[in-house]
Amino acid sequence: MTKPLIGTALKRFLRDYKRQHWPDVALAGLLQSVEYPANVGSIFRVADGAGMTQLALAGITPTPPHPTIDKVGRFKSLHVPWWYEKDPLTAVSQLKSEGYHMVAVELADTAVPYHEYDYPQKVCLVVGHEDHGVTKAVLNVCDTAVFLPMYGKGRSLNVHVAFSIVAYHILHVKRGA
In the chain, what are the domain boundaries? 24-172
**Superfamily of structural domain 24-172:** SPOUT methyltransferase, trefoil knot domain (3.40.1280.10)
Instruction: Give the pLDDT confidence score for residue 176 in this predicted structure.
Output: 57
Instruction: Give the pLDDT confidence score for residue 175 in this predicted structure.
Output: 67
Q: What is the value of pTM for the model shown?
A: 0.95
Q: How far apart are CA 119 and CA 171, in angstroms?
A: 10
Q: Measured in whole angstroms, how far is the alpha carbon of residue 8 from the centre of its chain? A: 29
Centre a 10 Å sphere on the Cβ of residue 78 and count the other Cβ atoms it contains: 13
Q: Are strands 144-147 and 54-58 parallel, antiparallel or unpaired?
A: unpaired
Helix (H, G, I), strand (E, B) or coil at 130: coil
Per-residue pLDDT of the chain (177 residues; tens, 9 = 90+): 999 999 999 999 999 999 999 999 999 999 999 999 999 999 999 999 999 999 999 999 999 999 999 999 999 999 999 999 999 999 999 999 999 999 999 999 999 999 999 999 999 999 999 999 999 999 999 999 999 999 999 999 999 999 999 999 999 997 654
Helices (H), the chain: 7-20, 37-49, 67-72, 88-97, 136-141, 159-172
Give the H or E element holding residue 125: strand 122-127
Instruction: Give the pLDDT confidence score for residue 174 in this predicted structure.
Output: 75
Alpha-carbon distance values, 107 to 80, 122, 123 (Å): 27, 22, 18
